[in-house]
Chain A
Amino acid sequence: MIKALPHPKWKDPRVRTRKPSMPPGNRSREAQGLLSMAARGRFALQVCSNCGAVQYPPRQLCGKCLSEELSWQDVSNKGTLLAETTLQHSNDIYFRDRLPWKLGIVVADVGPSMVVHLSSDCKQGDKVRLALSIDAAGNAVVTARPEKPTSNEKDDLQLREMEFDPKHRRPLIVDGKTEMGLELTKAFLSAGARHVFVGYAKPWYESQYLEEIKKLDKVSVYPLDVTDTDSVEELVSMIGDKVEIMVNNSYHLRPGGLIDRFDINTAHDEMEIHYYGLMRLAGCFGPVMRAMGADGHHSATAWLNIFSAYAWINNPAVGTYSASQAAALSLSQCLRAELTPGGVRVVNTFIGPIEDEWHQLAPPPKLLPATIAPRIVSGLSKGIEDIPIGAVAEEIIERLSENPKEIERTIKL
């Protein structure tokens, strides 16, 4: 059985911090199809529309009937472990640093045999639960765990490399003055975070949420204004090397469109917080996190952005807000490329309208921060890269993939 992950030791400053390295990242175009499924936490494989064969590894034609009518479909994630090995030798630096490394061949119930990263709780002949995960190089890989969840299964050191479990890690929640900030703090604490750093800005107004945060154990609060480079620099100099999960929940919504509310100042504030704010945070904290991405089992691991689902498609009722979210989303893709060599992965969550004063006129359904914060943390701990939260976000994804022009004309969510 997997042992519970021990509490992190005090970091000995005399010991060299392990430099990040990446597992092999060379993938074919067709194999990248796995990534788009893994990014959403789906277990989907190529299925032939002509003969029904499920195939793996991915190809551009069906390996059975040569049809090119292949689609990615969710399939059973069950399989049987047929063969296993534990590597004590590897040809790649990333794995050499992490030996021994356990692998298996699983025959999936849907047909194909798959080479997998294997949980140490699996034995030959066992039924197993397959998943598509994303490795430290940002590529999709197949993992297998026992069919039934086991205690401490998230503490498997090998599979922890492909997830962002907050256990024993220290997140920085950028904005503690919102209800979302409070609920995220609580969710991280209940997911086993070692300590939670919480930022707060705008000293001219009080926040009941920040007051509640201050009463929690294992939490410390710091002034942090993402519109002020000096403020971000000051915080990074204090806790930069301790932040293992960045939670960018910067939020500034003022309803209104472009002509209907022609207000450069409001639009400027939104960009200042969402776009330049992300840039300041990333410019200051990013290099430190990237350098600490291979620092043991509690290394810096993820950069979580909490975006609106309107980052994908402009909602004219909140037109300039949508635009600033889209800008931030684009910048996050740049950040993802730049953090990957450090083994730190960018995770974006996309939420629909929430129950707060700024969404007063938005029609329901609206999301409660207390409901969605645990779902965000749970998605993070599974290693999912794009986490849509709520019916509105789910619907936008579906309609965008079906007909982007339709949703552009008719979005009324």
Chain B
Amino acid sequence: MAAQPKEIAGQRPSYLAEGGLVGWLTTIDHKRVAVLYGLSSLFFLFVGGFEALLVRTQLAVPNNHLLSADTYNQMFTMHGTTMIFMVIMPLEIGFFANFLIPLMIGARDVAFPRINALSFWVFIFGALFMNAGWLWHALPDAGWFGYANLTERYYSPGMNIDLWDIGLLILGVSTLLSGLNFFVTIVNMRCPGMTFMRMPMFMWAMLVTTVLILLAFPALTVGLIFLFLDRFIGTHFYVAALGATPILWQHLFWIFGHPEVYIMALPAFGIISEILPVFSRKPLFGYAGMAYALVLIAFLSYGVWGHHMFSTGMGPVADATFSITSMLIAVPTGIKIFSWIATVWGGKLRMTTAMYFALAFILEFTIGGLSGVMHASPPIDLQQTDSYFIVAHFHYVLFGGMMFAILGAFFYWWPKITGRLLDEKLGRWQFWLTVIGFNGTFFPMHFLGVLGMPRRIYTYPAGMGWTFWNSFETACAYLLGVAFLIFLVNLVRSLRSEQAVGDDPWDARTLEWSVGSPPPAHNFDDIVTVRGRDAFWLMKYGSHDAPGHDSSAGARASAAHAEAGHAHVHLPAPSWYPLLFAAGLLVMGVGAMTWLRVVFLGAGLLLVSIVGMGFEYATYGQETEESRATFFRGVDSRKMGMWAFLGSECVFFACLISTYMVYKARNLGGPDAAVLDIPLTSFSTFVLLTSSLLMVLALAAIQRGDRKWSAIWLFGTAGFGLVFLGGQVYEFSKLYLVEHLAMQDNLFGQTFYTLVGTHGTHVAIGVVWLFVMAFAALKGKLQQSRSLAVEIAGLYWHFVDIVWIVIFTLVYLMRSIKEA
């Protein structure tokens, strides 16, 4: 645990060179973490595929009772949940992006290697937690978007939905941390010369994706927390009683859920934008337009969630608005599709399997996009939604789009990752079987939808005209299964083959191909300097107009490593804490479903690992020579990370606050905001705001090296925070004991306690943090060089105070405005 950073001089062993179980369990190398992600999500790919085949087998003939209704419902729910959260996202983000981001931008690792490993362990434990339902025949069974109020305890009494709810919360932590990590990496760790407009398009896609993750996942988290409270404490967030409405879940879920579609789609767009140019031997067409299109798609994706809810009766105005915004997304998507075609146009095509998949992607994804335009129109949607037409649509997007891109990416980057080529002949078999199996399975679903077959039915009667296409689809689905088995064989065979591949088998254009295959643990021997787009192509050929393929390996190597310097590379030491942290989260999840004490055990583990990681990070809060050299983008990565986290928190609180506002207006009976004690809260607000001032003084003190005063001001800030918390404890006790307002009592109670309580928790975490810092200052551990630590804590503290200003205004000062 206390291993020292390794010194690597000269030689370049592959990142896979050092074996050993412990090495893999404690690794924080982004490439190894990526491999762990890849292996686990490949496993889940086959689990999800197995579930899909069970579903298809059940539907092969009418009145089939191979699976019980219950089992079928579990299978389709887990198929969706698995493919989205445990296959597509982790393959794109956890595997490919994780492996490639540092290599493509010329960095040695991601910004926060420990958090990266932590993301993986949290992910795998979350996924296993949810899949634990296999053991008790209690897998989640309410569909991947688990519409309330079916998910309430009354209608779903089993542990199925508990596993889903807690499992998704855990997976959300993992995704959010990955998003934060990669965002900071791409913004901060680009090598010299790698401006935003010179980044590979995959990096643009990932940058936008990470922003989407940061701003979308909090909505899901809030929705899941409400569901948790409903199921475990007996609140009524989604019950159609006391004025609450189950539609709230749909809003929260789709505010997350639609950006989620692009969280899966944009990396695929990025992958395609890498594969096509390489195998066409031409630069990506319309680079700037492609980048702007990504940003525009991401921006629009926040304003379209309502198109999942046209049938819920939102009224014509909302329907029309969401319809128009949804259709607008077709414009940037169209730009992308035409630009891809223009990239291929006039190229010298190298028809590898990767290229086949990329080209097929364009067509399949276009079909999915066009059917999307259909149900962006509410009248059409009313016929198509929840029918097999929708199933066809999103499989054309998710499989024809994302999965084709992923398969292309496997064939393209596999040699870089493993040092072995995938077999092209098997690849071609796989490709054609996939194309035939995929289109045969999913295209007829359009017909079934038009013929009125609803989705999620475990059986259907004969005589509906659905039988033929269903049998046909099932046959094709098995073909698809065969294609994936061939893929598996191909992967295994390539790993066992002895034939090593060169560094740059495709004559590619981006930096990852300039290093070894597989790359050395530290990626780049020297810091690379980039002089334009398609950086490696430029290094090889000097200009975008390739003069031919006369460049020798030696010339490439010397070009890639032209920059001198940095003989010694610091690699962060492996760590057990990420694994421990994830275990803590898992134990908490298990505890929530069994005994409360276990939750505390898990929380203990969590705390130990956070503290452990804090102490392990020798440079925490310190601006060392190394950090100055690496983090040359101006803002320190840790500060940038905090900013990103706070951005995400904004959405989190926005969801809580909007729920409060909506439910306050719908509150029926019982105490409402009128019972709030304004004078008391005004006082504690004053105290909290004053503490922000003390925080500023603390930072100023540490920056000028005044340890004594910085300790005093830090204690002051924490103390004022404590006073605020005391006020809140008093307020809550009074509400509970005097006004008899419990969380379960009415809409005001549950939303008030949840919102203000969540803020209180944030304050409490801040107070603990500040006390730790203050004691460190007292002990003399907080030197001037570590002022960054105080600055980051300060950012958090100011943010919490600002949130309080909003809460104080909306909850307390505007309490009398009923219809706010």
Chains A and B are bound partners:
no
